[in-house]
Chain A
């Protein structure tokens, strides 16, 4: 009886002495001989040369093996070596992890999250009309025909899809050409650290990849139908001790090693015990830091904003807060403005996020019928395809130049807000062929008659009445205090911004079709 009690006690204890994942970063690493040609795929070498970047930097160097072995002698369970963070992942209790600070070479210990989830909102399983023309319409929201005219389809651009799973992607005619009969190292399972098995797991990654490069019966589903896709999986339910964040970090390192110019990450986590809203600063979470580093090293991470618009969290997810990630929010095809589920910004330190937007409610071919699916998960790959076309057109663009180019090509530019960013990227604007250039202003900002005691600013349509006006109030520091999208029928219904609600120096910015107006309140 006593033995049973002891066993029960030990069982309870082991259940409550929770194993957690930590990244132990070291203070230094050996700077010896490093052969980038042996470490990197030739595509990576070519990409760095095209961008004029050094072939490697300190971050690419391997870890100090002695440090790794010392940690492994103390901690039973260890995970990946992460070169970018000069650290080793360990699985242990908080107390034991903290004890590693006694080692002279340990610089920092960070916790890793298991809560990274796909940012797909919902699925509508019902059949709809089997007409692939819907794909043409979806891509035309980004101006596909302008890319077609220039024969831009992402050719020569390597894109890594980092996702939770790719179940049956090899059977889906939209993208299986990227999987079948391929002999290079093009797919890896970072949850299990082995070649990716396309027959199990979550189907989300296959759906996401479709909106980067899918095509069927002569209809493109993504813009980059000739890009080179590689796949990184980071989730294996119940079969791995690796956290999703650890797998994601390793996957991004791998994508860089393979020469990817773009990574699509339709994943995120929206807060946990250690990552609260106040960590949404773009440089707190390890994934966000990796996204920033990635851009410096020549690889842009395109991240979905997240689907927390209606949850308590509301704001963008990690790593969408990363300064150097291109964060994509979702717009509704019905309204053309942010879907209610799309997470919005800004970051905690008031930086603009998301950067741009794209359709979030889209149609997908599941191999049998068309299906409507929703989420910023699908907005992101649409923009990834867009980015690939631009990189094909201009391979020397560095990631932040690419972000700048995409932002400037977006529908609302130079207007932006914390729901839509700069709007939906438009190939027409990229080629300076925007058809909505206004010859004359389509809207004006009017001041109230001077005899009124309570003055205000209002708007007046000059053309295209009852269409959407984006307007905002921006303070002297450039922070948007308020932003709205409104349309109205009668002149008297125009929104009024009362002087009493403004401070001196506040700007009222308005975007309506091709018109952009900015007025400073004095």
Chain B
């Protein structure tokens, strides 16, 4: 069996490399170029960004949440404005969804809720960001990049959800919205790096979510992004 697999791999690899295109170009006068100078083509510096990540305590002494189930998801628009060579000023706006899955033992938040089997905070924000982006060449679809942003989130929706199963096996979900002890504005820093449309991101929140809170929800989240040129 092992021999057969090896033989198959050899055959497949020879098939894969048997034809070698050294140059492959198509030319269509109707779409002469795809760049911001052309005046008649898509501009790849308009970016749609879709990101998903996990919240992490990043070494905090007393974690408050489970990593799994504490998510960040965002959809953003970003424009890359060239400054010089591969250096760009970036700015954008969008919306994000955040979920924090509290540890069963966590009593810092709503300490009367520990009877629940699962508890989650959910926050939604309008987000905007401003930063610098460094690319290995001018085309964001063909370059490695490193991007450093400051971001600013404006809270639009808050919710606290608790799930439990009572002694009769009935599943109960309680939901409290419009939490009144949260801050409207939060801000932080973001680092993104990747190649072409694919990126890793890390965000660090510099402000608390809750007013007058002794400890706070995780400050750090990291994940993956995909950028899609959105055109003119």
Contacts and interface: CB of A to CB of B under 8 A. Distances in A.
Contact of B21 (A348, A350, A480, A484): A484
Contact of A481 (B22, B27, B44): B27
Nearest to B21: A486
Nearest to B38: A277
A485 B22 contact: yes
A277 B137 contact: no
B28 interface: yes
Contacts of A487: 19-20, 22
A312 interface: yes
Contact of A335 (B22, B39, B41, B139): B22
Given A271-B37, A278-B39, A310-B137, A419 B23 contact: yes
Contact of A488 (B20, B37, B40): B20
Interface string B133-168: 000011100100000000000000000000000000
B33 A315 contact: yes
A479 B23 contact: no
Interface stretch (A75-83, A204-212, A252-260, A489-497): A489-497
B26 A482 contact: yes
Contact of A276 (B21, B29, B38): B38
B18 interface: yes
A472 B20 CA distance: 16
Given A278-B32, A278-B39, A484-B23, 17 more contacts: A276-B37, A277-B33, A277-B35, A277-B37, A313-B138, A335-B22, A350-B29, A419-B25, A481-B26, A481-B27, A484-B25, A485-B23, A486-B21, A487-B20, A487-B22, A489-B19, A495-B19
B61 interface: no
A202 B19 CA distance: 44
Contacts of B38: 276-278
B36 interface: yes
A314 interface: yes
B27 A418 contact: yes
- Interface band, chain B: 20 to 34
A291 interface: no
A468 interface: yes
B28 A481 contact: yes
A344 interface: yes
B139 A310 contact: yes
Given A310-B137, A350-B29, A486 B20 contact: yes
Contacts of B137: 310-311
Q: List the 3 shortest-distance A-B pairs measured between CB atoms, nearest first.
A: A312-B35, A277-B38, A485-B23
Nearest to A308: B138
Given A276-B38, A493-B19, A310 B142 contact: yes
Interface in A303-322: 310-315
Contacts of B29: 350, 479
Nearest to B15: A493
Contacts of A314: 33, 35
A394 B20 CA distance: 42
9 contacts: A276-B38, A314-B33, A314-B35, A335-B22, A468-B22, A484-B23, A485-B24, A488-B18, A494-B19
A424 to B, nearest CB: 14
A179 to B, nearest CB: 32
Contact of B32 (A277, A468, A486): A277
A510 interface: no
B19 A488 contact: yes
Q: Give chain B's interface secondary structure class.
A: loop
Contacts, number: 92
A215 interface: no
Nearest to B14: A489
Contacts of B25: 344, 417-419, 482-484
B20 to A, nearest CB: 5
Nearest to B23: A485
Interface of B: 14, 18-29, 32-41, 44, 137-139, 142
Interface of A: 271-272, 276-278, 310-315, 335, 337-338, 344, 346, 348, 350, 417-419, 468, 479-490, 493-495
Contacts of B35: 277, 312-314
Contacts of B36: 312
Contacts of B44: 312
Contacts of A495: 19
Contacts of A271: 37
Contact of B39 (A277, A313, A350, A490): A277
A247 B41 CA distance: 32
Contact of B18 (A417, A468, A490): A490
B39 to A, nearest CB: 5
A88 B23 CA distance: 45
A276 B34 CA distance: 12
Nearest to A494: B19
Nearest to B28: A481
A419 B25 CA distance: 9
Nearest to B35: A312
A90 to B, nearest CB: 26
A63 B32 CA distance: 39
B33 to A, nearest CB: 5
Nearest to A278: B39
A277 B27 CA distance: 14
Among the interface residues B19, B23, B32, B44, which one has the most CB atoms of the partner chain A within 10 A? B23
Given A311-B138, A481-B27, A493 B37 contact: no
Nearest to B34: A312
Contacts of B139: 310-312
Nearest to B26: A482
A315 B35 CA distance: 11
A488 B15 CA distance: 10
B23 A483 contact: yes
Nearest to B136: A310
Contacts of B34: 312
Contacts of A310: 137, 139, 142
B25 to A, nearest CB: 5
B21 A278 contact: no
Contacts of A276: 37-39
